[in-house]
Structure 1
């Protein structure tokens, strides 16, 4: 009686293993299909010609272990909020810790408040990125000092999905040149003070994203009042300022 029982248990175990493998394969295929569709949608992205009052963007912020993803620094959390024109969509936010097995640098802990317990059981970066891209869809991304976000997302896409990072990303720090032309590098805190935006829970990815979104809305209002109709108009003016500065 023991022998048939043993084979029966092994058969059940094998079935569960096959089912688990199939579920994982199915999930990976779904993710791959989503990423392919996202690439196709981004090729048709029309943000440059959309009126600024109607432009949909996603404002994001990353907290990371350092500044150099190519040297092994990792994303610890992602925060984002949607904006339509000059209106922050308060109910449409995204936030997640990201799994990290290493020791978080002491200065990063002090700055962000993120500790090892927050990220040990968090979902892996590949899963968080899929959820974030599903949230962002093909909207233009906005961030403050956006090269930081762009570099980390580029490295993560290459490592986990083998695809380039193709979202358009607008830097609110760079746009400040259209407000104060003599000032190039400006911090998030300085921008908030300029526009009288309350600074709270600094260096929390979602809260920083919300403050950046408020800055973006102030920019859109100013750009529209200055006669800029689209993001293309803004980029052209910014390019002219850069060229003038080189002369």
Structure 2
């Protein structure tokens, strides 16, 4: 199953009032594992970057001036995502902007049902708790220390890890830190998993751990837990 974890950065909140996309970042997953294939594009919004947006993204007019316009990259973006499910945090926001840009180009719209909203999943799993990307990183002990500014590709890579935790925990051989061989298009058969850099905090209490030890002790020397 192919999925694309996606994030956009924009000049504001409403494309119908002139706001535009300035950056798209996406990470490909296959069977809930990163393939090493990504999509990343800065985009000239054809308008001045508002000061408040610059403070969030760190992308200014001088940097974006020579970047391609959405009309120049829209088809390549559609080709990358194909019919994959799109994993997005607050999907309504990103799909609204993407579909506005695609509509202005006369390109096909992205169906709403193609999106998987991790914000909605988080709110259902943890009702009443903060569900921002930063809050979920703290909950799942995911390192987001490099996220000093909002960046589409970095946020997509972080969201991919959050998504796998939300749907039941990361696969043991999942890794977003891909090798040069992956980026060169070689297969994944040479890739080997690495230990998680920061182990998850224990999710059982001391009382529960003691009760388990007592239970195992009653099973005798033949207990499966005592075999190497």
Query: TM-score surpassing 0.5?
Result: yes
Alpha-carbon separation, structure 2, partners of 1:124 and 1:82: 23
Alpha-carbon separation, structure 2, partners of 1:93 and 1:99: 20
Say if 2:157 is the partner of 1:213: no
SS of the residue 1:100 aligns to = coil
Alpha-carbon separation, structure 1, partners of 2:170 and 2:43: 36
- What is the CA distance between 1:131 and its match in structure 2? 1.4
Closer, same or farther in 2 for the Cα pair 1:133/1:97, shift >3 Å?
A: same
Higher alpha-carbon deviation: 203-212 or 108-117: 108-117
Match of 2:64 among 119, 128, 132: 119
- What is the CA distance between 1:166 and its match in structure 2? 2.1
Mind listing any 5+ residue stretches in structure 2 that lack a counterpart?
A: 172-228
SS of the residue 2:56 aligns to = helix
- What is the CA distance between 1:222 and its match in structure 2? 4.7
Say if 2:82 is the partner of 1:137: yes
What residue number does 1:189 align with?
A: 134
The superposition leaves residues 173-211 of structure 1 with CA deviations (integer Å, 9 ceiling, x where unpaired) of 11013421334x621111111111111234011001111
Which structure shows the higher helix fraction? 1
Q: Is the 8 A contact 2:161 2:170 kept in 1?
A: no
Closer, same or farther in 2 for the Cα pair 1:214/1:222, shift >3 Å?
A: closer
Q: Give the alignment's TM-score, normalised by structure 1.
A: 0.63
- What is the CA distance between 1:154 and its match in structure 2? 1.5
- What is the CA distance between 1:127 and its match in structure 2? 2.3
Q: Give the alignment's TM-score, normalised by structure 2.
A: 0.68
Q: Is the 8 A contact 2:3 2:84 kept in 1?
A: yes
Closer, same or farther in 2 for the Cα pair 1:84/1:178, shift >3 Å?
A: farther
Alpha-carbon separation, structure 2, partners of 1:174 and 1:166: 17
- What is the CA distance between 1:144 and its match in structure 2? 0.6
> How much is the aligned-residue C-alpha RMSD, in angstroms?
2.0
Q: Is the 8 A contact 1:86 1:218 kept in 2?
A: no
What residue number does 2:190 align with?
A: none
Aligned residues: 168
- The 5-angstrom pairing of residues 160-175 of structure 1 reads 160-161=105-106, 163-166=108-111, 168-175=114-121
Match of 2:11 among 65, 71, 85: 65
Say if 2:61 is the partner of 1:148: no
Alpha-carbon separation, structure 1, partners of 2:78 and 2:131: 28
Alpha-carbon separation, structure 2, partners of 1:186 and 1:70: 27
SS of the residue 1:221 aligns to = coil
Closer, same or farther in 2 for the Cα pair 1:127/1:164, shift >3 Å?
A: same
What residue number does 2:34 align with?
A: 88
Q: Is the 8 A contact 1:63 1:76 kept in 2?
A: yes
